[in-house]
A and B are shown apart, each in its own frame.
Chain A
Amino acid sequence: MTMPAIRNDGVTIMPAAAANAPVVAITPRRRPWRDSYGRIARDTAARVIPPLIVITLLMLFWELVCRRTGSTLPPPSKVYNDTKELIFDPFFDHGGIDKGLFWHLSASLQRVALGYSLAAVAGIGLGVLVGQSVWAMRGLDPLFQVLRTIPPLAWLPLALAAFRDGQPSAIFVIFITSIWPIIINTAVGIRNIPQDYRNVAAVVQLNPLEFFWKIMLPSAAPYIFTGLRIGVGLSWLAIIAAEMLIGGVGIGFFIWDAWNSSHISEIILALFYVGIIGFVLDRAIAGLGRLVTHGTSAS
């Protein structure tokens, strides 16, 4: 049996490959485990170090420029000294609007959460309608195209007139700002559902509700999440501006109040938080989208 294996090239290759196979199968299991720590550390460093360097340089530049006497804006060192209390005690509550930053941010976030959730539900609903029905699209699309160009704050006086209260007006502004990209992207997603999936649903005889949950939403999910992501960014933009006008607890009014009291350092600190939270909101929706649409785009 072994004789032809030695003599014949065609046969010798076979046992060689067979002997190799288990080795190949085992190595990828172990290697990456040990390697992965090193690679993760290197990847993290590659991503974290460049922005750190840029931030440090910018801070230095800012410090040097604003240090001189007569500068209108405080340098970072002064910002830190002025706002130390706000940074380290975000939870104080002296009544009224004299609260820690945590309370201001959470008030703003609550408004966004409410307005944005309403916009998400209504936006997906209307988007499905417009995407599914040609007549709904012909009727509603021109209206949407005009309404969506109205700047968020232009709605505020009207909302105040209607609700006669700041809180619902702010929520309405969030709602009306973030709903358009959600509607439009959902509609595109629905219109792009492949005819094949519709045929499958028809053969299986899914009812409209099952069709919505089992075909429409998963198939349009990548588009819907694009809309949701744009929407959350816009609503965070709008809430700051709206709160400046309606007053009360909230990071927008905190900034306005700091300006009125000439606490420039507090404004800078608040801007820092606003930026970070906007970033986190965007990433959260993007991450949720990736989780939900896992495997949807590939076919």
Chain B
Amino acid sequence: MSAYLKLDHIDKVFSRGAASTEVLKDITLTIDRGEFVSIIGHSGCGKSTLLNIVAGLTTATMGGVLLEDHEVNSPGPDRAVVFQNHSLLPWLTVYQNVRLGVDKVFAKTKSRAERDAWTLHNLSLVQMVHAKDKRPSEISGGMKQRVGIARALAMEPKVLLLDEPFGALDALTRAHLQDSVMALHHKLGNTILMITHDVDEAVLLSDRIVMMTNGPSATIGEVLEVPLPHPRKRLELATNAAYLKCRQRVLEFLYERHRFIEAA
């Protein structure tokens, strides 16, 4: 069986004038349909760069991304992104922010009424219908991130890309949203690629955890399968042996073998 999403020998070199830095080197990864994969690594190793390459917002210097065996190198709604800082358009209401993508993606396939219903449906998936007429400045950080998720889901992406979606949130909100994402993944079966720097989050949500070495020339150091059945329960896992073992593995990778070195 060929992979659903394939990152094929990706290199990324940033060059400014004569100076150039190789950020990513030889990244190869295959992701199956419906799989939830997390990428974890220290700050600055190139996680966002990698995600942007998959999203098509940045181009790889070498190698490429294949989605269902077709090369993708420009951004599109089939790889919707939930950005680290929500990136909602402040002059649009919550509803309009989601509707913007819906109108583009389903311009030909859905009627006006259907697009309206679909927008509301996706807002209801993240429990945000009640605030649909509010502006982003009028809702909390967690709510904004929910709307960002709804906006991405509403495009019916083949792959959902999450760039540290909960990084800027407090621990309680974060846990709550993690549960939401788990529930959504269980219900909708999306293929998800998520960046995180939170070990617990990675183990709790993922089917596989991709651990990246430190940059420059970061690459995949290790890939860990998380052999826990879905749906997972945060409290039950706290004492689960398999969970603790996975957690231990990731921690060892990050803090013993690839300790964070201050950029020289």
Contacts and interface: CB of A to CB of B under 8 A. Distances in A.
A, B in one complex = yes
Interface of A: 196-197, 199-200, 202-206, 210, 214-215, 218-219, 221, 293-299
Interface in B67-102: 74-77, 79-81, 83, 85, 87-91, 100-101
Contact of B155 (A196, A204, A206, A215): A204
Nearest to B57: A199
A200 B79 CA distance: 12
Contact of A206 (B57, B88, B104): B104
| Majority-rule SS of B interface residues | loop
B90 A296 contact: yes
27 contacts: A196-B83, A196-B87, A197-B89, A199-B55, A199-B83, A199-B87, A202-B56, A202-B57, A202-B75, A203-B57, A203-B80, A204-B104, A204-B155, A205-B104, A210-B104, A214-B100, A215-B89, A218-B89, A218-B91, A293-B91, A295-B137, A296-B90, A296-B91, A298-B135, A298-B137, A299-B88, A299-B90
Interface in B87-124: 87-91, 100-101, 104-105
A28 to B, nearest CB: 18
B201 to A, nearest CB: 22
B76 A200 contact: no
A144 B81 CA distance: 39
B83 A205 contact: no
Given A202-B75, A203-B77, A203-B81, A295 B90 contact: yes
Contacts of B56: 202
Contact of A299 (B55, B75, B100, B136): B136
Nearest to A294: B91
B86 to A, nearest CB: 9
Contacts of A297: 90
A199 B90 contact: no
A219 B92 CA distance: 11
B100 A203 contact: no
Contacts of A293: 91
Contacts of B101: 203-204
Contacts of A197: 87, 89
Nearest to B137: A298
